[in-house]
Structure 1
């Protein structure tokens, strides 16, 4: 492109110089020739008037007298009737410029000048014109090179930007070139780079969230399958298989919500559900893991609370907090429910060392972790809580207390009575029958997710 710009500019300049230069040479040549002829004519008239004046006053007219009146480069011939011709100077050879003038006393004055003087002057003029044309060509080349660089360099830079963008480096360069059209292209490329960067960030975040959200159901599923492999009791196998199917349903629900990105309560996925069911389900799911670690997990607080949200998402938030306590905490993990205003709060606490002071509220930032972990568990949990219209906060650092705040919906009197009766029945089963407790665990594990599927 640079070469084309330079060649085109140079061609235009050469055409202009050719058109105007030739015309100027012709005009100047004619002007110089006419000026030389006029000078010779003037010289002849002047010399004739001198001869006339001397003849009228009867003065001598000789070559010595007239030599001072004639330019040294010119030749003059004066022919006076009845006298010998008078010659002044050397008669030039070759092409000459001649002028003749007749005087009042009958004399004839002839003045000649060699045309070489005109030729020399024309040559000097042509040399000047050629020098000016050469300077114009040099200036045009320099200007063309500068303009070509000004236009070609930004295009090369924009091409590199587009290549970087296509190779997966979406960082905007924010370079402008002072050319409106090129700046417009740069604006579009920078906007595209920012959009691609946001898309890539969202994709990476989705992949990280998916891996973290899928890990908990898979862990719970693997624990249930391990329970099946170590028992020979058919009833236990059936119960554990039922719970494992519940985990598969949770896993399917997680995948569907990740694919459809339907975390916003406005999409219709938020429902009114019983917090007790979700809490009991999580306690039962994580109890084997805590028992293996020599620790306990318990629940307490206000019962029969209803909250508005997505049961599966709330279960994942609690699972993230419980898993976090298992990995980084110590002692007994307690889930406590309470009411504050129009919100239901689930607090998760343990007896561990708590959150380091240098982390503080940054514990919810991605890649921030006090131990060798991914650093996205609490960040994903907070996102899930906020997507359900709630919030997740760290209420206390040492010992650690995390609170999940959800919108609360007061149940009707009939619903409350029925719920109380059902809960009492479950309590009786738990107190009186060990096998009944197992069946209740299966029912509680499946309950919230089956409700969620019905709503879906």
Structure 2
């Protein structure tokens, strides 16, 4: 491309120089020739005037008297009325420029000049024009090289940016070139890079969230299946299988919820549901795990609460809080339900050391963990809660008390 730009620029400059240079040569040649002709004619007129005045005064006409009246190197011949001829200078050889003027006393004056002088003048003029044209070509080459570099370098840079974007490096470069069209392309590439970066971040976040959040229901499901394999009682098998099917449904709901949140965190499908059922289901689901560690899960507080949200998401939030209490806490895990204003609250606490003071509210940030864990659980739980219009907060650091706030179902005013 750079070579094409240089060649096209030079072609335009050469055409312009050829057209205007040829016109200038023609004009200058005619101007020099006309000037030389006028100079010769002027000498002839001047000689005729002097000869007329001397003939009227009865003075003689000699070459010595008239030699100073013409330009050096020119030849003049005067034919007198008495047929006498007076010559001034040496007659030039070759082509000449001449002018002839008749006098009032019957004399005729003819002045000649060698055309070689005119040719030399025309040659000098053409050399000057050629030198100027050469300088113009050199300037055009320099300008073309500079302009080609100015245009080709940004295009090369944009090509490298596009290649880097296609190879999986979505970092925008925010580089501009002072050319509106190229800057527009750079804007589009940077915007595409930012969109791709957001998409990749969302995909990686979804993968991390899914791997973390699916671990809990899969663990609970595997425990149920183990219970089935260890018993021969058909009733127990049926009961455990029913619970396992419920866990599979919640697992499906968790996957759907994660996919929904990855596209739009606010696109929840909140409905009114019985909060007691979700709390009871989580206690039953985690009781085997707590017993295996010699701990207990208890429930207290107000019953009969109906909240607005997604039951599967609420169950997943509570599962995350219970799992954290079993993994990082100590003693009894307590779930307490209460009402504050128009919100239903589920508090999850244990008797462990709680959250260290240096973490505080940062415990909900991704990759922040007080122990050797991923630091994703509470962050995803908060996202799930906020997607339903609720919120998850740390009410107390020691002993730890986490609270899930949910909107309550509006009461029917017609019911007394």
Query: Structure 2-normalised TM-score?
Result: 0.91
State how far apart, in whole Å, the 2-side matches of 1:266 and 1:64 are.
117
Alignment-derived partner of residue 383 in structure 1? 383
Say if 1:28 and 1:411 are closer, same or farther in 2 by CA, change over 3 A.
Answer: closer
Determine the structure 2 residue equivalent to 1:306: 306
Correspondence 1:316 to 2:320 = no
Cα distance in 1 for partners of 2:361, 2:339 equals 23
Partner-residue secondary structure (3-state), 2:367: coil
Task: Measure, in 2, the Cα distance between the counterparts of 1:360 and 1:318.
Answer: 20
> Which consecutive unaligned segments of at least 5 residues does structure 1 have?
417-456
1:15 aligns to 2:22 (yes or no): no
2:361 aligns with: 361
The residue aligned with 2:275 is 275
Deviation at 1:92, TM superposition (A): 1.3
**Residues 267, 110 of structure 1: CA spacing in aligned structure 2 closer, same or farther, 3 A cutoff?**
closer
Aligned residues: 415
Deviations, residues 3-35 of structure 1 (Å, cap 9, x unaligned): 222222221221121112112111111111111
Deviation by residue 1:374-431 (Cα, 9 ceiling, x = unmatched): 2211111011111222110111122221100111237789x99xxxxxxxxxxxxxxx
Shift of 1:261: 5.3
Superposed CA deviations along residues 240-292 of structure 1, whole A, max 9, x for unmatched, are: 23322222222122233344559999978433322222222212222222233
2:183 maps to 183
Aligned-residue offset at 1:206? 2.0
| Contact 1:263–1:388 (Cα < 8 Å) also in 2 | no
Tell me by how many angstroms 1:101 deviates: 2.0
Residue pair 1:306, 1:410 contacting (<8 A) in 2 also: no
Cross-structure match for 1:408: 408
Distance 2:10 2:201 in 1: 50
Judged with a 3 Å threshold, the aligned counterparts in structure 2 of structure 1 residues 127 and 264 are, in CA distance, closer, same or farther, namely: closer
Q: Partners of 1:338 and 1:107 in 2: how far apart?
A: 140
Name the stretch that deviates more: 53-62 or 268-277. 268-277
Structure 1 residues 23-422: aligned runs within 5 Å: 23-82=23-82, 84-259=84-259, 269-409=269-409
In the aligned structure 1, how far is the partner of 2:180 from the partner of 2:265?
Answer: 46
3-state DSSP of counterpart to 1:54 = helix
1:97/1:268 CA distance change after superposition, 3 Å: closer
d(CA) in 1 for partners of 2:125, 2:358: 87
Q: Which of 260-269 and 380-389 deviates more?
A: 260-269
Alpha-carbon contact 1:265-1:309 (below 8 Å) kept:
no
In 1, the alpha carbon distance for the partners of 2:399 and 2:176 equals 54
Q: CA deviation at 1:234?
A: 4.4
Q: What is the CA–CA distance in structure 2 between the aligned matches of 1:189 and 1:116, rounded to whole Å?
A: 68
TM (norm. structure 1) is 0.84
Shift of 1:214: 1.3
Secondary structure of the residue aligned to 1:205 is: helix
Cα deviations by residue, 1:95-124 (Å, 9 ceiling, x for unpaired): 111122222222222211111111111011
**Cα distance, 1:263–1:396 mapped onto 2, change above 3 Å:** farther
Cα gap change, 1:378/1:64 in structure 2, threshold over 3 Å: closer, same or farther?
same
Distance, in Å, in 1 between the alignment partners of 2:87 and 2:267 is: 121
* 1:6/1:148 contact within 8 Å kept: yes
How many angstroms apart in 1 are the aligned matches of 2:410 and 2:100? 131
SS at match of 2:24: helix
Q: Is the 8 A contact 1:263 1:387 kept in 2?
A: no
1:51-85, Cα deviation, whole Å (9 max, x unpaired): 22222222332222222223222122223244753
Question: Structure 2 vs 1, CA of residues 265 and 178 (structure 1 numbering), >3 Å: closer, same or farther?
Answer: closer
